[in-house]
C-alpha cells in the first residue's frame, strides 16, 4: 500500500477548504441545504465532508483553552507540568470549564449525512458509496470520543431530531452511561473499518488504518477509566473494573492492525535530526491523522508565539511555551541514568566553560524536543542567561530586563543577560524553548502571526506503539511491551530496556517523554487518575544559567517559577456547559460543579 498517500490524511481535504475560500463559494448552513444540491454528485459530497472534517475538535497548533482556532497558549502543557507561559497571568490550575467541546450541532450534521445519503447511493458506485458512509462513521466516532473523554457519559444521539415534528420535551435526551458511549464509538469505528478502503482513494480521505488508529486510542482510554476510575452517578461516570481487560484487548488488537500499515519515521542516521524532522517532513510514514495548514487561507502562529527572543519577527511576541525543568529532567540520559542535572557539589555550584557542557549526555530526543540554553537553532546560539555575578559568591549579582545592558570591569564589557535571557517579558521563564514543531527554515522577517504552515500530527504511529505497550502490559504480555518500547527508545537515542525494566511506571514515563508538548500529557494524567497526586500545590522549576565575570565561567541554579498548581479531582471530568443544562432539564451535572 502507498503509505505516502495514507500519511497525508486531510491534505486534500484542506486543499478543498482552501479552494472554496479562495473562490468565495459560501455554502449555506448544512441544515438548510437542499438534499439534491449536496448528494447528487461528488462535488457536493466533498463539500459536505469538508465541513464535517473541519468541525473535528483537533487539539492542534491553534488550540487553546478558549477554542480550537485561537492563539496556541499551551494550557494543556501547563496543566500537565510540561510548560509554563512567559505571561504569569496565564498560569492557572486546571479547571473544569476549559477545553470545552459539546459538539451536538456537529453530531447532527453527520447524523444527517448517515440518514439521508443512502437515498442517493445509486448515484455512485457501490465502492464509493461505502467509502462515504465509512467516513461519516469515522467522523462521528471522533466527535463522540472528544466528548466522552471530557465529560464522561453524554447523550447518544444517532438519529435525526426534528422540530416541530417532535416537541421540545421529546427532544430532551438524558446522558447515557460512559461505558455505553465507548461501546457506541467502537461500533461506529468497526463500521468505518468495514466500509473504508485499505488505501485512501484520494489524498485527504479517511481509510481503514486511520479508523484502527482511533480505535486503539479510544479503547485504551476506556480501559483506563475501567482500571483506575470509579463509578459515579449510577454509571454515567465510570466503567466497571471487570470490563478493563476487554477494552485493553480491543486497543491492543487495533494497534496491531495499525502496525501493518504504518512505521516509525527513521529517515536520518543522526537521531537528533531524525526526531526533529519527524514533525516537519511532509512525506512521513509515521503520520496517521494529520491536520494541514496553507497560508493565507489556513495558517497558524506557532513560530511567532514560540520563537526565542533573539529571533523575534517584526511584530514581537515569542517564547510563550516554556518547557519546565520538571519535564526536561524526566528524560533519562543516553546511559540510562536519571536525567537530573548535577549543578552543584556539596552545596557549591559547579563551574562550566560553556552552557551546553551540562547537557553532554542527554537523549537526542530531548534535544530535538526542547531548545536548550546555549544550543543552536537556525544557525545561531540561543543565548540564555539570567544574570551576571561580578564574582561568586562574594560579588554582586546583576540582572536586567534589557539585553543591551552591559557590565564593565577589568576584563572588559559583558552583557548582563543573554540575547534570549530570562527576565524579559517576552523571553523564556524556565531557561528552555520549544523545538518540536518549530520551523527552522522561516526567515526572521516572516516570523509573523498567522503565517506558519507546518502540519499538526493528531495521531502518529509512535503513539500507537505506546498504546500497544500499555495494553500489552495490562494484559500480562511484558515481552511485547518491551519490544515496542525499545523500538521507541532506539529511535530516540536512549538506552534500550531489559525485560526487568518494564513496569507500569516506565511505560508511562516513556509515553510522557515521547509525546511531550503534543497535548497528550494532560489527558493521560486524567485517564490514569494520577493528576491529583502529581499536581498538588506544585510550583514548577526553571534552570537558570548565570555568568561569573571574574572567572569567565557559568553556573546553574534550579529556581521555582510561576504560581503553584493544584489539580482538583473533580476535573477528571469537565463541567457540562450550564447553557446546555438550562436547555435540557434531563441533563445531570458532573460532581463538584
Q: Residue range 260-278: average pLDDT?
A: 98
In this predicted structure, what is the pLDDT of residue 8? Answer: 33
Mean pLDDT of the chain: 91
At 456, phi and psi to the nearest 5?
Answer: -110, 125
What CA–CA distances, in Å, run from 335 to 266, 302, 497, 504? Answer: 21, 33, 11, 21
Share of the chain above pLDDT 90, in %: 81
- 593, 96 Cβ separation under 8 angstroms: yes
In this predicted structure, what is the pLDDT of residue 139? Answer: 98
The helix-helix angle for 461-474 and 478-492 (nearest 10°) equals 150
The 10s digit of each residue's pLDDT in 1-48 is: 333 332 333 333 433 333 222 222 233 445 556 788 889 999 999 999
Sole residue written with cell 479562495: 22
The 10s digit of each residue's pLDDT in 550-580 is: 999 999 999 999 888 999 999 999 999 999 9
CA distance 185 to 183: 5
Does residue 236 carry a pLDDT above 70? yes
> Three-state SS across 467-496?
HHHHHHHHCCCHHHHHHHHHHHHHHHCCCC
Give 504's contacts (C-beta < 8 A, 6+ positions apart).
473
Count Cα atoms within 13 angstroms, Cβ side, for 500: 0
pTM: 0.92
In this predicted structure, what is the pLDDT of residue 98? Answer: 84
Element (H, E) at 132: helix 126-151
Across 157-161, 244-248, 524-528, least confident range: 157-161
Element (H, E) at 413: strand 412-415
In this predicted structure, what is the pLDDT of residue 32? Answer: 57
Q: Residue range 477-503: average pLDDT?
A: 98
In this predicted structure, what is the pLDDT of residue 62? Answer: 86
Residue 373 has a CB neighbour count (10 Å cut-off) of 30
Strand 541-548 relative to strand 387-389, pairing:
parallel
In this predicted structure, what is the pLDDT of residue 94? Answer: 82
**pLDDT band for position 86 (cuts 50, 70, 90):** confident
Domain boundaries, the chain: 3-61+68-88+101-299+571-583, 302-452+539-560
Name the more confident of 260 and 38. 260
The 10s digit of each residue's pLDDT in 207-219 is: 999 999 999 999 9
Share of the chain above pLDDT 70, in %: 91
Q: What is the DSSP code string of 217-248?
A: HHHHHHHHHHHH---BGGGTB---GGGHHHHH
Query: Rounded to 5, what percent of the chain is helix, strand, coil?
Result: 45, 10, 45
Q: Which fold has domain 3-61+68-88+101-299+571-583?
A: 1.25.40
Structure-derived torsion over alpha carbons of residues 281, 285, 287, 290, reported in degrees to the nearest 10: 70
CA distance 195 to 208: 8
CA distance 319 to 309: 6
DSSP code at position 72: -
The 10s digit of each residue's pLDDT in 179-223 is: 999 999 999 999 999 999 998 777 667 899 999 999 999 999 999
- 308, 420 Cβ separation under 8 angstroms: yes
Residue 159 has a CB neighbour count (10 Å cut-off) of 9
Q: What is the DSSP code string of 268-328?
A: -SSHHHHHHHHTT-SS-TTEEEEE--BTTTB-B-HHHHHS-GGG-BTTB----EEE-HHHH
Amino acid at each position: 500500500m502507498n503509505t505516502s498517500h495514507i500519511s497525508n490524511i486531510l491534505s486534500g481535504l484542506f486543499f478543498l477548504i482552501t479552494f472554496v475560500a479562495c473562490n468565495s463559494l459560501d455554502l449555506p448552513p448544512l441544515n438548510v441545504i437542499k438534499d439534491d444540491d449536496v448528494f447528487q454528485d461528488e462535488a457536493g459530497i466533498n463539500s459536505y465532508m469538508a465541513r464535517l472534517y473541519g468541525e473535528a475538535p483537533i487539539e492542534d497548533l491553534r488550540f487553546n483553552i478558549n477554542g480550537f482556532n485561537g492563539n496556541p497558549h499551551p494550557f494543556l502543557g501547563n496543566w500537565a507540568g510540561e510548560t509554563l507561559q512567559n505571561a504569569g497571568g496565564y498560569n492557572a490550575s486546571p479547571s473544569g470549564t476549559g477545553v470545552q467541546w459539546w459538539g451536538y450541532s456537529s453530531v447532527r450534521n453527520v447524523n444527517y449525512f448517515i440518514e439521508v445519503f443512502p437515498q442517493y447511493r445509486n448515484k455512485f458506485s457501490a465502492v464509493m458509496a461505502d467509502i462515504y458512509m465509512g467516513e461519516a462513521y469515522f467522523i462521528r466516532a471522533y466527535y463522540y470520543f472528544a466528548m466522552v473523554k471530557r465529560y464522561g457519559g453524554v447523550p447518544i444521539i444517532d438519529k435525526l431530531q426534528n422540530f416541530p415534528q417532535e416537541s421540545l420535551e421529546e427532544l430532551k435526551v438524558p446522558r447515557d452511561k460512559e461505558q455505553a458511549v465507548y461501546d457506541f464509538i467502537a461500533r461506529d469505528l468497526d463500521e468505518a473499518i468495514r466500509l473504508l478502503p485499505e488505501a485512501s482513494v484520494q489524498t485527504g480521505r479517511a481509510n481503514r488504518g486511520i479508523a484502527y488508529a482511533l480505535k486503539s486510542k479510544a479503547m485504551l482510554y476506556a480501559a483506563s477509566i475501567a482500571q483506575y476510575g470509579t463509578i459515579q452517578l449510577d454509571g454515567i461516570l465510570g466503567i466497571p473494573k471487570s470490563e478493563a481487560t476487554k477494552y485493553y484487548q480491543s486497543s491492543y488488537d487495533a494497534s496491531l492492525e495499525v502496525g501493518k500499515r504504518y512505521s516509525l519515521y527513521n529517515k536520518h542516521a543522526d537521531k537528533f535530526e531524525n526526531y526533529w524532522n519527524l514533525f516537519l517532513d511532509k512525506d512521513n510514514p509515521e503520520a496517521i491523522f494529520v491536520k494541514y495548514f496553507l497560508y493565507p487561507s489556513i495558517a497558524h502562529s506557532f513560530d511567532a508565539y514560540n520563537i526565542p527572543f533573539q529571533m523575534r519577527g517584526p511584530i514581537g511576541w515569542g517564547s510563550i511555551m516554556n518547557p519546565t525543568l520538571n519535564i526536561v529532567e524526566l528524560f533519562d540520559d543516553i546511559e540510562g541514568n536519571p536525567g537530573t542535572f548535577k549543578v552543584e557539589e556539596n552545596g557549591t555550584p559547579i563551574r562550566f566553560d560553556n552552557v551546553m557542557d551540562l547537557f553532554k549526555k542527554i537523549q537526542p530526543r530531548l534535544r530535538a524536543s526542547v531548545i536548550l540554553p546555549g544550543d543552536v537553532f537556525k544557525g545561531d546560539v540561543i543565548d540564555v542567561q539570567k544574570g551576571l555575578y561580578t564574582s561568586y559568591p562574594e560579588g554582586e549579582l546583576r540582572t536586567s530586563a534589557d539585553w543591551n545592558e552591559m557590565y564593565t570591569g577589568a576584563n572588559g564589557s559583558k552583557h548582563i543577560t543573554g540575547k534570549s535571557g530570562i527576565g524579559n517579558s517576552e523571553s523564556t521563564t524556565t531557561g528552555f524553548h520549544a523545538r518540536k514543531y518549530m520551523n527552522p527554515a522561516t526567515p526572521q522577517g516572516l516570523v509573523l502571526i498567522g503565517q506558519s504552515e507546518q502540519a499538526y500530527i493528531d495521531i502518529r504511529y509512535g503513539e500507537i506503539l505506546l498504546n500497544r505497550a500499555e495494553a500489552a502490559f495490562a494484559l500480562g504480555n511484558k515481552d511485547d511491551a518491551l519490544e515496542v518500547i525499545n523500538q521507541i527508545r532506539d529511535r530516540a537515542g536512549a538506552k534500550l530496556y531489559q525485560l526487568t525494566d518494564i513496569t507500569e511506571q516506565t511505560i508511562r514515563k516513556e509515553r510522557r517523554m515521547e509525546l511531550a508538548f503534543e497535548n497528550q500529557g494532560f489527558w493521560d494524567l486524567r485517564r490514569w487518575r494520577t493528576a491529583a497526586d502529581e499536581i498538588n500545590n506544585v510550583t514548577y522549576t526553571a534552570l537558570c544559567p548565570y555568568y561569573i565575570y571574574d572567572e569567565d565561567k557559568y553556573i546553574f541554579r534550579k529556581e521555582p517559577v510561576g504560581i503553584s498548581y493544584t489539580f482538583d479531582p473533580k476535573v477528571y471530568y469537565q463541567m457540562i456547559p450550564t447553557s446546555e443544562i438550562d436547555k435540557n432539564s434531563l441533563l445531570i451535572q458532573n460532581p463538584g460543579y
